[in-house]
Structure 1
Amino acid sequence: MNFKLKFKDINESRELTENYTVQDLLNDLGLSAQTIVAKQNGELTIEDSIIDDGDEIQLVQIIYGG
């Protein structure tokens, strides 16, 4: 079971474990949900969403400014 990850220069297939969530992925990458927006199969999603086999997860860096 695999899912596709897109983030900055990363465009890869990753192995999927049971009940693996978007938050688990962020933790594995050392990223914070406060600075990242996640899309699951093109739709905005929350950190508690479980990633399914074949899903595409895109992580987008939030840019603050003023």
Structure 2
Amino acid sequence: MIKISFTLKIKDKIEDMELPHDDFTIEDLFNQLELSSQLYVPKQNGEIVIKENKINDGDEIQLVQIIYGG
């Protein structure tokens, strides 16, 4: 069986991750990592995307933390 993987960038970490199934979405990734989608903006291959986007083999997913302040 061929491994399907993507690269995850979060904070200062870069990690290669395997896709658990074909229809794995960014929302699934948030759930797997136990992160709130209200605290991070997802980027897929350099473009800001919605959490319902499907992750594909070879994608680069970056989770950019939202900074609140006044």
TM bucket by the smaller chain?
over 0.9
Q: TM-score, normalised to structure 2's length?
A: 0.90
The residue type paired with residue 42 of structure 1 is G
Kindly provide the amino acid, as one letter, of the partner of residue 6 in structure 1.
K
Aligned length: 66
**Could you tell me the percent identity over the aligned residues?**
58
Higher alpha-carbon Rg: 2
Q: Which runs of 5+ in 2 are unaligned?
A: none
Runs of 4+ in 1 over 4 A off after TM superposition: none
The equivalent position to 1:34 in structure 2, one of 13, 35, 38, is 38
The Cα offsets for residues 11-57 of structure 1, whole Å up to 9 and x where unpaired, read as: 01100121000000011111111111000000000000000000000
Task: Give me the CA root mean square deviation.
Answer: 0.7
Hey, what's the Cα distance between the residues in 2 that align with 1:63 and 1:9? 16
Among residues 28, 33, 36, which one is paired with 1:24 in the alignment?
28
Residue in 2 aligned with 1:64? 68
Q: Distance in 2 between matches of 1:30 and 1:36?
A: 12
Distance 1:23 1:59 in 2: 11
Which one of 43, 49, 58 corresponds to residue 45 of structure 1? 49
